[in-house]
Amino acid sequence: MSVRKAVMVLYRVCWIAFFVMVVISLLPRPPFPYWLTWVPAAAAVALSLTAGRRGRAAVADPPPAVEIEPPVTGRWTALNSPADKVPSHGVHAYGQTYAIDIVAEPGTESGTEAEPGAEPVLFRPKFRALWPVARRNHHFPAFGAPLLAVADGTVVHASHGSRDHLSRNSLPALVYLTLIEASVRDMRGAGAIVGNHIVLDLGGGTYAMYAHLRQGSLRVRAGERVRAGQPLAECGNSGNSTEPHVHFQLMDDPDLDVAVGIPFTWRGAGVPANGEIFMVGAAAHGTPAGEPVRESARESGGAQAS
């Protein structure tokens, strides 16, 4: 076990010890003083800072961005983009330094009606203050969208056993996700955070990770060679996720506990900024997607994906 791996394991052990000690401290006569409860919490914070040291060093002297194909086609909106902030998700953990979230945005609530005979447009539900507290995944246009290989590579890891939970795109659900669910998932490890996911070895020490896949949607298995543009799975809502969306990142190691993020750029789309709607065409098997359509989506009021 590497030092970085050991640090992450100890980090999770410290948080587990903290929560256990909090419960014990609620007893009428706890066997230790209350202040001792916070020792493992402080140790966990210190370990997280230690674990993120390599990521912070990489940001100070970042490697060149790796150009790859987009992992989707159609009309999407970028959230938590490295074009606006690094680390994009606020942490370097799990190789997320240059990660991006994207949500399908096929139309807006003020959009034009569908042509006669055409399928109705599924609009992305807005974030709500109170009601509905949660929505089923079929209400979101990203759910079930095909995810494509961004380059030729080899499947290192592929999992699809975790369930797709309800959305967390209301204030009560978001509070629950932030204060309870996310903490429990963090203690369980990287797999519980990213949910169903695929890791591709693109060669040259570069790995691509797709998170929050739809349960049972895998079309590839570990050890399989894939071609750019090949369907891999479908977008889902497993793991630490507010709604069905694609979480994508490049990293330097297939183990999320030790990986450091690598910058990327999508051929034909670049790195869309937060709130930016972009459109990519059929970029299968290395065919350029062409210049994307870009517009602002900031007025849509959508919730941030995780």
Q: What tens digit of pLDDT does each residue of 176-228 get?
A: 989 899 989 999 999 999 999 999 999 999 999 999 999 999 999 999 999 99
Q: How many CB atoms lie within 10 A of CB 66?
A: 17
Please report the pLDDT score of residue 165 as a whole number.
94
Please report the pLDDT score of residue 219 as a whole number.
96
Average pLDDT, the chain: 87
Phi, psi for residue 128 in degrees, rounded to 5: -115, 145
Classify 238 as helix, strand or coil.
coil
Q: Give the pLDDT band (50/70/90) at residue 298.
A: very low
* Rounded (10°) angle between helices 38-51 and 53-60: 30
Q: What is the pTM assigned to this prediction?
A: 0.85
Mean pLDDT of all residues in 268-272: 93
H/E stretch holding 287: none
Q: Give the pLDDT band (50/70/90) at residue 293.
A: low
Whether 163 and 215 have beta carbons less than 8 Å apart is answered as yes
Please report the pLDDT score of residue 275 as a whole number.
92
The DSSP line for 58-88 is HHHSPPPPEEE--S--EEEEEES-TTT-SST
**Rounded-to-integer distance, Cα 203 and Cα 4, Å:** 22
Please report the pLDDT score of residue 120 as a whole number.
59
H/E stretch holding 188: helix 182-188
Q: Give the pLDDT band (50/70/90) at residue 233.
A: very high
46's CB contacts (< 8 A; 6+ apart) are none
Please report the pLDDT score of residue 55 as a whole number.
82
Please report the pLDDT score of residue 116 as a whole number.
53
**Rounded-to-integer distance, Cα 296 and Cα 274, Å:** 9
Q: Give the pLDDT band (50/70/90) at residue 289.
A: very low
Tokens 């394991």 correspond to: 9
Q: What is the DSSP letter of 191?
A: H
| Residue among 40, 21, 39 at smallest CA distance from 31 | 21
